[in-house]
Homo-oligomer: A and B are copies of this chain.
Amino acid sequence: MDSVVPGAPAHLKALVEKHQPTLAAALHAVQTRISWSPYKDSPSTKIHGPDKPVQGKAAYEKHLGQRYTIDQPGIISWTGAETSPYTGKALGIEYPVSDPAALIKAAKTALQSWRKVAPDVRVALCLEIAQRLYDRNFEMAHSVMHVTGQSYVQAFSGSGPNALDRGVEALAYAAKAMADVQPTATWQRPFGKDNVVLDKVYTLMPRGVGVVICCASFPTWNAYPAIFANLATGNPSIVKPHPIAILPMAIVVEVCRQTLTDYGFDPNVVTLAVDTLDVPVAQKFIDDPAVQIIDFTGSPRYGGHLERTITGKLLFTETAGVNSVVIESVADLKATATALARSTSLFSAQMCTSPQTIFVPKNGIPNGAGHASFNDVAQALKDAVDEIVADPATAAGIMGAIQGQVSLDVIARLKTALTSKPTAKIVRDATAYAHPDFPNARTLTPLIVAVDQSCVDLYAEEQFGPVLFIVAVDSADAAVKDATKLAATHGAISSYLYSTDEAFIARSTEAYEEAGANLSINLHGAMWINFAAAYSDYHVTGLNPAGNACLTDLAFVASRFRIVQRRRPANS
């Protein structure tokens, strides 16, 4: 990677030096896949002191009912239609709507100067952005909470440090991939009697303007890697938030633009593309020849459309799949049921890693020294959810709220469909729980249904609402076959397997590999089983329909830039 040129301004040298230790540690972490973070993912006042939480909440509340000013090109109107799933009230924030052509033009102009900024300065500037976002994380937590429905604690961690970590991880890969290209070389070989000596210069060039299309329920987690990977490699990013979750991304864009400005760069390296549900704007960006990189997180419907139509551009997607669990045997059914219940309850199953479909042998499973029937397993799952719901504070901290009415509709339709399935049995109904702080919160506990394979049309589709299917199967081996087929055909981000039989685990592993399904085996305890650790857990394999945006590997960054070379005789 180019170093800051000796004549570079002192403030840029200082910026690179300031963040060098973080970059070095990130590079070490992605290489060794150890646990590491430069941030604290707990909102505890023991870490942050008593003032920051209060100030962060106030900063969030100050946005309400106001215009969110972002001084970017081509503003033609203002819009905003966010509603808090906790209060049921409109946030009343309006955001600038820019003419797409103006944003693209500004990004093209910004590219011209941004590409000439030394790679290590670009990387350091992204780390500075990450630091500033971390400094505003209490404000971010409330903002994420009130547009997505994430609980406060999860919004703080999952949409804060955990998301920033994924961004820093992508930065480390971008730095690594760029460093792989020598900036210059001297080459010599004899041709006949001539000893030819050439000086060569290899220039890293950005690929073009990037558009980052964010999802509604977890916007920052995928956006940071895409934005940072783009910026590090010289590509401006136009950030297009989901119309119902704009605020977090407005904060991100504001911080990016301010940081760029503070260091003397064109702020239009990052802009915000706001649209509405009625008049979506993403395709206008995607179709523009200047736009060469599209990062999309969201529905399989639109993601699939992009995957089937985009040619000649770089497209990264994360959509969704049907995450499955296979239970062959357990050491302790209660522990397994608790792990699964917590995981499916987390953010009310609105996560891309939430388990949805649990395959259990119809004749039951070994449970420690004993045996658990199929119904025992179902009952244990019900009990574990009951336990979460029994304590409103626990329920609120885990489940948060349901972002959209659509998820309530999904569960309602599902319940109707189940009435025509004679073998299906509702184990635990989906019910609202009373949120201790927000009486008007839109909440719903997971619907738990015991089914057999006659319900394949229901459990083998992604249901975007809190539901857990417990599917009776002939055997655990059949379960693995079903689960991996589901991953291969419908996509999967995370798969789960419980077994105390090493031979079974060994023979199952291959099927998961071939389905391109990342597998967690026998996870219990304090860590959420669907927790994906930046720098360590590869997220999305690209081998099944759940998307191709692996967070993060070299493939996620290596095509975002190109190399242009020139050569000439040495000493000429």
Contact = CB atoms under 8 A, between A and B. Distances in A.
Given A187-B33, A533-B187, A564 B513 contact: yes
Nearest to A31: B182
Interface string A8-28: 000000000000000000000
Given A205-B541, A555-B559, A559-B559, A35 B189 contact: yes
Contact of A568 (B514, B523, B533, B559): B523
A46 interface: no
A363 B537 CA distance: 64
Contacts of A196: 525-527
A541 B564 contact: yes
A185 B33 contact: yes
A522 interface: yes
A569 interface: yes
A185 B31 CA distance: 10
Contacts of A512: 564, 566
A413 interface: no
A322 to B, nearest CB: 17
A520 B310 CA distance: 34
A518 interface: yes
Contacts of A189: 35, 533
B522 A541 contact: no
Interface string A509-545: 1001110111111111111000001001110011100
B538 A563 contact: yes
A565 B538 contact: yes
B550 A563 contact: yes
A453 B168 CA distance: 51
Interface of A: 31-35, 176-177, 180-182, 185-189, 191-194, 196, 198, 200, 202-203, 205, 207, 307-312, 509, 512-514, 516-527, 533, 536-538, 541-543, 550, 553-555, 558-559, 562-569, 572
Given A509-B566, A522-B572, 14 more contacts: A33-B187, A34-B185, A34-B186, A35-B188, A176-B180, A191-B525, A308-B311, A518-B564, A520-B568, A522-B569, A524-B569, A537-B565, A538-B563, A554-B558
- The 8 nearest A-B residue pairs measured at CB: A194-B526, A33-B185, A191-B526, A521-B568, A35-B189, A554-B558, A519-B566, A555-B558
